[in-house]
Chains A and B, each alone.
Chain A
Amino acid sequence: MSLRDNEDISSIVQALKHKPGALLPILHGVQEKLGYIPSEAVTIIANELNLTRAEVHGVVSFYHDFRSKPPGRHMVRICQAESCQAMGSVALTTFAKEHLGVDFHETTRDEAFSLEPVYCLGNCACSPAMMVDEEVYGRMTPQRFQKILLDVVGQRE
C-alpha cells in the first residue's frame, strides 16, 4: 500500500461518512478503488467512524464480497446454485478449475483471473451462468468459457 492509497481511502471515508449506516458504502468505495480492503484501511475507517478495528474487520469478514487481499485483474464468478446445477454447472466448474489451474478463492499465477463461487446471478432462465467482472454470461459451456476468457483478456487488457 502506498501513501497515495492512504489518501484515496481517507477521501472515500470523508465523502461518505456522513451517511447513516456508512460502513458498507465506504467498504464498497475502497474496494472499487483498490480492488480489496487493505488492513490499513480498516484502521483508517475505524478511526473515522468511531468504531473499533474489530468491528470493521468483523464486517469485512462477514460479507463474501469483501476481500482482504488483492485479486487478479479479472474476477470470474461461476454460479453454484440449484438452477445452474440443473444445467451442468458442476461440470462447468470442474472444467474452469482445471483450465485455470486454481481452486475457488484463488488467483491464477499470471494474476489474470480470480475464481469465486457465487450463489445466483438472477440469470436462471439462461443457466448455467457466470459473471466476469460486471458482465453476466448465460448458457455456459466449457467452449464458451474458454472463448469468453480469451475475449476478456483481448478486449480489456
Chain B
Amino acid sequence: MKATVYVPRDSGALSLGAEAVATAVQAEARKRGQELQLIRNGSRGMYWLEPLLEVVTATGRVAYGPVSPSDVPGLFEAGFLQGASHPLHLGLTEAIPYFRKQERLASARVGVTDPTSLEDYCAYGGFRGLHNALSLSGEQIIQEVIESGLRGRGGAAFPTGIKWKTAFDTPSEQKYVVCNADEGDSGTFSDRMIMEGDPFILIEGMIIAGMAINATQGYIYLRSEYPHAFRVLNLAIEKAYEAGYLGKDVLGSTRTFHLEVRRGAGAYICGEETALLESLEGKRGMIRYRPPLPAVVGLFGKPTIINNVITLASVPIIFDKGAAFYKNYGVGRSRGTLPFQLAGNIKRGGLVEKAFGLTLRELLYDFGGGSFTGKPIRAVQIGGPLGAYLPESQFDVKLDYEALSGIQAMLGHGGVVAFDDTVDMAKMARFAMKFCAIESCGKCTPCRIGSTRGMEVIDKIIQNRNRNANLHLLRDLCDIMLNGSLCGLGGLIPNAVLSAMKHFPGDFGIRDVEKLSLA
C-alpha cells in the first residue's frame, strides 16, 4: 500500500536538518521497495519537535520527532508507516496538547497542507472568502472588515477597516495594496511561517483588499533574510496567475489584480511603513512625515493600503466565516486571534495562535514549559526590540493590546522572547541603543545621534563612572528620543531601556528608582 509521509520544508525545520530527513526517508523507502508519497508541508510550529515527521493513518496523522536521518531506518523497522510505537512516537499530531489548545485561524493550514498546492488550499477551505467577497461592493467589504474588529497585526494595531476606508475615500485612478513582510523584530516568525507554509492565504487576502479599494496592483515587500519565503511566494503567485486568481480578469469578475514580490535589503527600518514605501520606490529607506497618511498619499504618491502579513491573512477568514465569527474571539477591543511566537530561552518554542486574553504566564509555562536552560525566567521582552522588558511580577498580564499598554508595554507583532536569570539587563539596554544606532535611517537627530550617545552613557553606568549623574542623563536622553523622533524606532526603543532600568535597577546599580521617575 502506498504510504503518505509529511516532512516540513519550513526554513526553521530545515535549519534543524529536515532536508536530510526527507532524503533519508525516500532512500529507505526505495531500499525496502515501499511505495511512498512524500509531501513537503509547512511547520506545525512545534519547533522543539522539529524535524517533525508525520504519517497518514486511518485514525489521522501520527507524528514522530525530533527525527534525525539516523533514526529513519529504525522508524521503518518499527512500522511507523502504520503509526506504530517508537521512542520518537508522539501520537496524533493534533492531539499534542501544545497544538490542541490553540485556536488556529490565520495559521489553520500551516503545517497541514502542501503550501504550493492550489488543490490542497482549496480542499481546506481556501478562496471561499474571495468567492464571497466577489459579490460585495467595496463599501460592503470594508464594512465587514470594520465589523470584524480586525486591527493591524504588524505592531501598531490600527483598525484595518478604517485604514481601508481612508484609501477608499481618496479618489485616484491608481491605488496600491502593499503587504509589509519585513518581519524584522527579534522573536517573530509568524509571517515567515504563513508565507512558507500557506502562501495562498496571503494572496487571497491581498486580492480582497484590492477589490475593497479598487487597487489593481499589489506588492509584497519581503525581507531579504527570508529566501525560502521568496521562492514559495513566487511559486504560489505563478500558480494563482495560471488559475485565474490573479491577472486581468480575476475569476471572470472583470477586476484586475497584479501581484509582485519585492525584496528588501537588510534594513530594519523598512518595516516602518513610510520607509518601506520609499524603499519600494527605489530609494533609501528614510521615513516620511505623516500626515499625509499612506492611505492618502502612499506608494508613488497614490492611495495605498499597507498591512502586515498576518492582518491580510486574517481577511479571508472574515469573508469565509463572517465578521461575527472572527469578532467572537478575543477580549475588549482586541478581537480575533494572534499567532504568538515563543522564542529565546524557552523549552518549547514555536507558534501559538490563540485568542487575545491569555496571560503571559500561561504562554510561558503552559505552552513554553519554562526556560530552555531550566533556570528561572527572569525577563521577557514582548514586541521585538522596541518592546518593554517585563519582570516575573508582571507575568500575569493578559496578552491584549490594552492590558499591555496599561503597563507601558506593547504587544507589537506578538513575539515573546524569554531570558533566564543569567541575563544582564544593563547589557540588554545597551544592545537596544546599539541596535537603534545601526538601524536608524538618520532622519531624526535624537534617534541617529542619541542612540550612539545612549550606548556610551550606558557603558559609563556599567563601569560605575559618575553613575548617578549618568543615570539621570540616560533618563533625559530617553525622554528626548521618545518625544523627538518621527517613527517608532527612535520613539519606542527607549521603552526597552527604561523598562530594563525600572524593573531591574540592580543591574544598573540604581539605588533609588523613585528619584529617576521611571514610573
Query: Which A residues contact B (CB, under 8 angstroms)?
Result: 20-25, 27-28, 49, 58-59, 62-66, 81-87, 118-127, 129, 131, 134-139
Contact = CB atoms under 8 A, between A and B. Distances in A.
Contacts, number: 152
Given A121-B225, A127-B343, A27 B265 contact: yes
28 contacts: A21-B300, A24-B280, A28-B224, A59-B284, A62-B284, A63-B267, A65-B224, A65-B264, A81-B186, A82-B428, A83-B417, A84-B186, A85-B428, A86-B417, A86-B419, A118-B266, A119-B268, A120-B185, A120-B225, A121-B225, A122-B188, A122-B225, A123-B11, A125-B12, A127-B343, A134-B228, A135-B14, A136-B228
A85 B351 CA distance: 20
B227 A134 contact: yes
A20 B300 contact: yes
B464 interface: no
Interface in B201-243: 224-228
Interface of B: 11-12, 14-16, 47-48, 50, 183-189, 191-192, 224-228, 262-268, 279-285, 300, 341-346, 349-351, 372, 381, 385, 415, 417-420, 423, 428, 431, 435, 438-439
A5 B196 CA distance: 34
A37 to B, nearest CB: 11
A21 B280 contact: yes
A84 B185 CA distance: 12
A136 B50 CA distance: 14
A124 B262 contact: no
B431 A85 contact: yes
Given A64-B266, A119-B268, A59 B349 contact: no
**Which 8 residue pairs spanning A and B have beta carbons closest together?**
A125-B349, A23-B282, A81-B186, A124-B343, A63-B265, A64-B266, A138-B15, A86-B344
A136 B343 contact: no
A22 B188 CA distance: 29
A125 B439 contact: no
Given A82-B385, A124-B343, A136-B14, A131 B225 contact: yes
B186 A124 contact: yes
Contacts of A139: 15-16
B266 A65 contact: yes
Given A21-B280, A82-B431, A87-B344, A123 B12 contact: yes
A38 B416 CA distance: 41
A62 B279 CA distance: 10
Given A62-B285, A119-B186, A136-B15, A126 B47 contact: yes
Nearest to B434: A80
Contact of B349 (A64, A126, A131, A134): A126
A22 B11 contact: no
Contact of A86 (B262, B281, B418): B418
A136 B345 contact: no
Contacts of B183: 120, 122
Given A20-B300, A64-B266, A119-B184, 20 more contacts: A24-B262, A27-B265, A63-B265, A81-B187, A82-B417, A86-B417, A86-B420, A118-B225, A120-B183, A122-B183, A122-B188, A122-B226, A124-B189, A125-B48, A125-B346, A126-B12, A136-B11, A136-B12, A136-B228, A139-B16
A25 B266 CA distance: 14
B253 to A, nearest CB: 25
Contacts of B349: 124-127
Nearest to A119: B268
A47 to B, nearest CB: 15
B368 to A, nearest CB: 10
